[in-house]
Amino acid sequence: MNSSIIIFLRKLVLFLLILVLIDIALGKALEHFYFKMKSGQSSRITYAMSQTNEDVMVFGSSRANHHYVTTLLEDSLQATAYNAGIDGQGILFQYSLLKAMQSRYQPKIIILDLNPDGLEEASIYYDRLYVLLPYYKKFKEIQPIVNVRSPYEYLKTMSTLYRYNYFILPILYNNILNKTDKEDIKGYEPLYKNINIAKLKNEQKKTLPLDSIKVSNFKSFIQDANRNNCKVFVYISPIFKINEPTPTIEIVKEICNKEGVYFRDYSSHPLFKESTRYFHDFNHLNNSGAEVYSRIVSSEIKGLQKGAINF
């Protein structure tokens, strides 16, 4: 082999070695500060995945997060509760969260709130699973779900830095300032304003076909929870305006019937439908709406549970 190739290879190996060391060292530092965060969405995910021990857990997106008042659930069900709803996340994230949680303990009641279009094709929900990358090595159970992001996700996550891709600013912000402008009551984040109809744009949302991966993850969610004696209640919480039952609602109804799981669709409930009093924006109830809705849900669960679960 000619000498210039040998020199090149020697330099390349040295460079790659330095790079690997930096990746490990910097990655470890980021890991340390990531898991030290006491505010922000990431700290909520960390808590939900590795510290929760509540009896009642709420799963879902931002709609779950703003719609289920944890204290009301606790009072009504006489049990501890935590709202693990995370902005912009879908069933893939929620199933990962359940898997991580079940590796530590079993909640007794799970309220799973789905978006009316939650099981439809939308690649953005795959991209958004990046929020789970910091937990990839800690919770082996979530790896198969996170791997659906791309065919090479397993190889990419070998880089420690990659697992903190996109987190450098939240880590800096939350470690230095360590404050949040959001009110967090056991995971529930209330919204206080009322919807401004003048700002609503009249746009028809296109219905997309169902995503088979999301549907199968939803099924697995229910089956895993049932297998571990968690009682699952599936809800679709109110939305300001919805025209017709979506494919998601139809399939969720079908699966819940088959699996013997309680399902209730409140998306077009007359009490909330187009109510400027109860909505903060098109997709989210405000605190008044959330309180009314949470009371309905908790009394419903209480009624169903009477005598069935000993807290």
Partner 1 sequence: MLFNSFQFLIFFPVVTILYFLLPHKLRWLHLLIASCIFYTAFIPVYILILIFTIIIDYIAGILIENAQGSRRKTFLLISIIANVGVLAIFKYFNFFVDNVNSILSAFHITTQPLPFWNIILPIGLSFHTFQAMSYTIEVYRGNQKAEKHFGIYALYVMFYPQLVAGPIERPQNLLHQFHEKHYFDNDRVVKGLRLMLWGLFMKVVIADRLATYVNPLYGNVSQHNGTSLLLATFFFCLQIYCDFAGYSYVAIGSAKVMGIDLMTNFRRPYFSRNIAEFWSRWHMSLSTWFRDYVYIPLGGNRVKKSRWYFNLFIVFLISGFWHGADWKFVIWGALHGFYLVFALVTHRLRNDFNQKSGLTKMPLLLHFLQILVTFILCGFAWIFFRANSLDDALLIINKIAFERGPLFSGNNPAVLPYCAIGILILAFVDFKAEYFTGRFLLFYNRNVYVRYLSYIFIIVTLLLIGVFDSGQFIYFQF
CB of 289 to partner 1, least distance (A): 23
φ/ψ (deg, to 5) at 241: -155, 130
Comparison of 56 and 145: residue with beta carbon closer to partner 1: 145
CB of 303 to partner 1, least distance (A): 39
Token pair 């994230």 is at which residue?
A: 93
Q: How far, in Å, CA of 83 to CA of 60, rounded?
A: 9
Comparison of 73 and 92: residue with beta carbon closer to partner 1: 92
CB of 18 to partner 1, least distance (A): 7
In order of 23, 24, 26, the CA distances from 83 in angstroms are 35, 34, 33
Comparison of 165 and 257: residue with beta carbon closer to partner 1: 165
The SS3 assignment for 60 reads coil
Comparison of 99 and 163: residue with beta carbon closer to partner 1: 163
Comparison of 6 and 271: residue with beta carbon closer to partner 1: 6
* Token pair of 163 as six digits: 């697992």
CB of 275 to partner 1, least distance (A): 23
* Token pair of 107 as six digits: 């909640």
Residues that bind partner 1 (CB under 8 A): 2, 4-5, 7-8, 15, 18-19, 22-23, 26, 88, 127, 149-152, 155-156, 159, 161-162, 164-166, 168-170, 201, 203
Q: Tell me 277's DSSP state.
A: T
Q: Tell me 262's DSSP state.
A: E
Determine contact, residues 160/23, Cβ cutoff 8 Å.
yes
The kind and range of the H/E element at 25 are helix 3-34
CB of 168 to partner 1, least distance (A): 5
